[in-house]
Every structure is written in structure tokens, then in C-alpha cells.
Structure 1
Amino acid sequence: MSTRNTAIFDLDGTLLNTIQDLTNSVNYCMKKYGGPVYTCEEIREKVGNGIYVLMEKALPDGRSNPNYDACMKDFPVHYKEHMLDNTKPYDGIIDMLHTLKEHGYKLAIVSNKFDAAVKGLCKDFFADEIEVAIGESPAIHKKPAPDTVFQAMRELNVKPENCIYIGDSEVDIQTAANAGIPCISVNWGFKSTEFLKENGAIQIVSTPKELTESILNQ
């Protein structure tokens, strides 16, 4: 009999469509400091490893760019002010979370987005469903290190054998492997089915309804 009773989710591209607001905040910094302006599709290819890597990929010459530190100061401020402008859950996500809760599941978010934004977005959209939300901070190694996943387990008082991880990127696949738990990949987020397969995805779902069934059948 399965002992799975906990679902740990990535945030951006998995539960929330955040790409427009992320793009707007990147472009705010680019325009302010003379960098290139990006489309949502271009930013989609750069996200997944936190804002330090996102800005490194966005700025010409990356962290060697003389404006890198200024962008890293301005981006979180602008994003926190505007992260609700266009962001919303993907269709079917709230119903999925409700169903899992009805089946007794504990739910958490583990993201590489900076911690204040993760906790804020969780409170804004999922306060009734998700008990724990952990983002990137200097105090803990980010994904694909398993540290934030293990922290979520501690806060929920569960063990790895109780958990499954759900995400939309190669970082999530690697994180689940490093944590020693199964991973379900979703293809409605920032990475394609082909990309996910090339990066080791074992199980890929296309709708929140399909995801619900997959989680409950683990």
C-alpha cells in the first residue's frame, strides 16, 4: 500500500503562469540600464534557476556587467510591486489542489523564486490549500539541491517515502532525483514535452486533471 500523502510543487510554470510579470520586471531593469528588451518566450528560456541566474542570462556579459548588482537590487523591488499584474493560476489548478486536500494530502511549494515573492504569491492564491512555501534565500541551497525540499518535509512532518514532487523543468527533475522522491513533470509551463523527455522526465502530464489522477495513483 502506498504511503504517499504529500505533494510538493514548483511554483512558476507549474501552479502559476508568471511569465508576463517576470518579463516585465526584467525589461524594467534592461530599459533602466541599457540592456536588451525581451519577449516572454525569450524569458521563458532563461527562468528556473532563480533571479541571480535570470539576470545573469539577461544582461550582456552576465555578472561581469557593471550594472548587474544594480539590477539585482531593482528587480526584486519592481517584481514584488507588480507580481500580481498578470499572474494567475493555470486553469484547473485550484480544483486540483482542492481534490488533493479532500484526499488528505499535505501540500507545499518549493521554488527558486526569491522567498518573499514565493510566500506572498502562496498567500495571495493558495492560502486555503498550501501549508508550506519555501523560496530561494541565502540561508539554504536552492534547487536542484534537495535542501529546500527536505525543509518542506520537516515543516510538514513527513518523510521522503510520503512525498512526490511536481514541476515543469529540468531543474525540478534533478531536484526530485536528488531528494530521492518521484517526479511528475507538467508540460503546460515553461518547458516543452520534448525538452522534458530529453532531460529525463519519466512521467509527463498535460492537464491538472491528469495530474490529480497521477498523484492519487502513486
Structure 2
Amino acid sequence: MKPAFELLVFDWDGTLMDSVEHIATSLAAAAIDTGMEDLGQQRYRDIIGLGLKEAMQALYPEAGEAETQALCERYRYHYVEVNQVRSELFHGALDMLHIMRGKGLKLAVATGKARVGLERVFADTGYGELFHASRCSDESGSKPQPHMLHELMQELNVEPDKTLMIGDTEYDMAMARNAGTHGLAVSYGVHDCQRLQQHDPLACLSSMEELSGWLHAHTA
């Protein structure tokens, strides 16, 4: 029997918002500013989903604390101040979220963004009112640690077997497994299905249309 989900937890960048290129470009600019090697767009895309500090440490393990901090600061500068083109939700995402809320499901966000970054997006777009709760990497710990999901489930009083984590990276799927929840993967963001399926998601979907259809079919 299919699980009767009560809580849908969405990753943000690459799952709901089409912001992967914006992030990767800002990471490259931060590297150039601080005299680090430009590792290329694919390498920068690959670590999207981790907390910012954890991402910089993965990209530049040789960097000291001061260099890592400088990379983070320059990334924030480029992401917020230099690149003024606002990222948008993937086509169909907003309708899908409204439909899921209309079904009476609880919706939440678990993101590698810092709290200030997520709140900036919510303030700019008004999308924050769609979600019952949210957690960010700088307040709960970076993916694939389970802390964000544990805290969301506790806050919203939902058990792991009634919780579905939806994301586009292996970090999302590993977090779901570590937290004892279900995982649902999407491949239109960062990681491909072959990589995502290593973490045993319920399915791997290739478009927002497929995601919306799957959720509609698997929720009451």
C-alpha cells in the first residue's frame, strides 16, 4: 500500500527554483576574486545543495579558514549584488504547490541556503506563505545530515513514514535516508538519475510536469 504522505519537504535551488546557473556563475566569480582556481561550471553545479561553507570546503579542501571565509563572502557579493537577474520558480512549480496545499498537505523547505538568503527570496517573491515551515543549512546543519528533516518533522508533528523529501541532488536523497523518511528525486536540476538512484528514491522524475503528476497520483 502506498504511504499516505502528510508532509512534503522540498529542496529549493534546482528543485523549485531555476537558480543553478546563477549559483555556479557566482561560485566561479568568487574563486577568481580570491585567486583560487576556476574549477568549471560542472564542478560548481555538482556541490549545489550543500551549505555554503561545506561547499567551499569540498571545492577547495586546501583552503584555510580565512580563505574559505573570503570565498563565502565573495560568493554572497556576486550572488546578491552583482548578478541582478532574479531566478524564477520552474514553470509549473507554483501551481503544483497550490494544488498540494489545497489537498491539505503540509509543505516545508529544507535548503542549503543560509537563512538570510531564503528569507530574501521569500520577501522578494511572497512564496514563503506557501510553506508551513523551513530549515536552512546554517541553522540546522548541512545536508546530508538529517537535522533539517528531524526538526521539520518535530515542528509539524509528522512521523518519518509520512514524510517525503523531494530534491535534485544526492545530498537530498542521502538526507532523506539518514532521517528515515521517503525520498523522491528529480533530475532536471543538478544530478542525473543514475547518481540519484544510488540512494533508493521512490522514483526519479525528469520534469516539473512529471513531479506534479506523481505527487497528485500519490497523495490523498
With normalisation by structure 2, the TM-score equals 0.85
1:95 and 2:99 aligned: no
CA deviations on 1:92-130 (whole Å, 9 max, x unpaired) are 111111111111111100012222212322443423422
Alpha-carbon distance in 2 for matches of 1:45, 1:204: 18
Contact 1:109–1:130 (CA<8 Å) still a contact in 2?
yes
Q: Report 1:129-144 matches (<5 A).
A: 129-137=130-138, 139-144=139-144
CA deviations on 1:137-164 (whole Å, 9 max, x unpaired) are 1x43322121111212233333323311
Q: Which moved more, 1:207-216 or 1:159-168?
A: 207-216
**What residue ranges of structure 1 are gaps of 5+ in the alignment?**
none
- Aligned residue for 2:28, secondary structure, equals helix
How much has 1:210 moved relative to structure 2?
2.3
1:206 is matched with: 206
Could you tell me which amino acid in structure 1 is paired with residue 53 of structure 2? Y
Q: Which moved more, 1:16-25 or 1:169-178?
A: 16-25
With normalisation by structure 1, the TM-score equals 0.85
Instruction: Check 1:211–1:109 CA distance in 2 against 1; reply closer, same or farther (3 A cut).
Output: same
Could you tell me which amino acid in structure 1 is paired with residue 46 of structure 2? E
Alpha-carbon distance in 2 for matches of 1:159, 1:63: 40
Alpha-carbon distance in 2 for matches of 1:153, 1:81: 35
More helix by proportion, 1 or 2? 2
Instruction: Check 1:80–1:133 CA distance in 2 against 1; reply closer, same or farther (3 A cut).
Output: farther
- Aligned residue for 1:88, secondary structure, equals coil
Could you tell me which amino acid in structure 2 is paired with residue 20 of structure 1? E
Alpha-carbon distance in 1 for matches of 2:176, 2:71: 31
How much has 1:66 moved relative to structure 2?
6.0
- Aligned residue for 2:140, secondary structure, equals coil
Contact 2:5–2:163 (CA<8 Å) still a contact in 1?
yes
The total of aligned residue pairs comes to: 216
2:171 is matched with: 171
**What residue ranges of structure 2 are gaps of 5+ in the alignment?**
none
Could you tell me which amino acid in structure 2 is paired with residue 7 of structure 1? L
Instruction: Check 1:66–1:143 CA distance in 2 against 1; reply closer, same or farther (3 A cut).
Output: closer
1:48 is matched with: 49
2:147 is matched with: 147
- Identity among equivalent positions (%) equals 24
